Amino acid sequence: MNIPSLTITFLGTGTSSGIPMIACQCEVCTSADAHDKRLRSSIRVQSATTTIVVDTTPDFRYQMLRSDTRHLDAVLFTHSHKDHIAGLDDVRAYNFFSRKAMKLYATSLTGEALKREFYYAFSDTKYPGVPELDLVTIDKDSFMIGDIPVQPIYVKHYKMQVLGFRFGDFTYITDANCIEEPEKEKIKSSKILVLNALRKEKHMAHFTLDEAVSLATELKVPEVLFTHISHQLGKHEIINQELPPHIRLAYDGLTVCL
C-alpha cells in the first residue's frame, strides 16, 4: 500500500474540562505559558487531497477556525463521551460550502449515541439548516478515507471499549487505561505514537504519566507524544524536563509530518 505524506495537527490536548479549568486558580490554570492552554483532545490528519478530524469536541468550532480548516472530508469518532462528540452540530458549515453530507465513521455503539444526542439531524423530517450527516459503521477492519489508510485499534477506557486509530506510521490513542496484546501488535512499528497521560495520580479510566511512559517504552516507538492532559499533571515545561528524550507532551497547535 502506498501511504501518502501526512500532516497531523493537534487541535486540542486537554482532558474533558480543558485547561484552564473553569474557576480553578492552580499554577497550571493560571500559567502564562501558551503550552498550558489546552482545548479538548482532537487531531486533524491531512494528506495532499484528504482532510480528517478525529472527534468533534465542545471546542470544535473554535478549533476549526483557529487551525484555518476550510475543507473537511470526514470525522472519525473514538467514542461517545461528550468531550469527544459535543461539537458535531457545527459540521453544518462544511455542509453549506461543500453541498454534501459529512461522512462520520464510528462503531455501532458510538453511532447509536450520535443518533440520540443529535436526533434532529437523523430525523426523517428535518428542520432546515440542521447538519447533513452520513454515518458509516466501522469495526476492527482497516479502511480508506480518500487516500488515507485507517486502522482501528480497540482499547479499554475503564469498562468502555474505545477506538484508537493508526494512519500509516502515526498512531493516536486517547481515553485508555488498558490495551490488550493483539491491539498492541497493531501499534508496533509506528514512527510516532500518541497516548493519553492524564495526571500522575492513579485514575480508573486513563493512563497515568508513569503508565504511559511504561507502555511507550514497551512498544519501542521512536517518538511518543502525550495528550488528554489535565491541570493535575503539572506545567508543560516542567513535565517535559522529567520525560525521556524521545517522549514529550503534545500541545495545542503542534504539527508533525510523516
pLDDT for position 228? 98
User: pLDDT-derived band of residue 1, with 50, 70 and 90 as boundaries?
Assistant: low
pTM for the full predicted model: 0.96
**Alpha-carbon dihedral 40, 232, 248, 55, rounded to 10 degrees:** -20
pLDDT (tens digit per residue) in 136-176: 999 999 999 999 999 999 999 888 899 999 999 999 999 99
pLDDT for position 157? 87
pLDDT (tens digit per residue) in 21-50: 999 999 999 999 999 999 999 999 999 999
pLDDT for position 184? 96
pLDDT (tens digit per residue) in 195-239: 999 999 999 999 999 999 999 999 999 999 999 999 999 999 999
User: pLDDT-derived band of residue 127, with 50, 70 and 90 as boundaries?
Assistant: confident
pLDDT (tens digit per residue) in 78-118: 999 999 999 999 999 999 999 999 999 999 999 999 999 99
CATH no. of 7-257: 3.60.15.10
pLDDT (tens digit per residue) in 45-78: 999 999 999 999 999 999 999 999 999 999 999 9
Q: List, in order, residues 6 or more apart from 124 with CB less than 8 Å away.
A: none
Residue ranges in the chain assigned as alpha helix (H): 60-66, 82-85, 92-98, 108-117, 119-122, 181-187, 209-219, 236-242
SS (H, E, C) 106-148: ECHHHHHHHHHHCHHHHCCCCCCCCCCEEEEECCCCCEEECCE
pLDDT at 181 over 70: yes
Residue type at position 246: H
Residue type at position 44: R
pLDDT at 188 over 90: yes
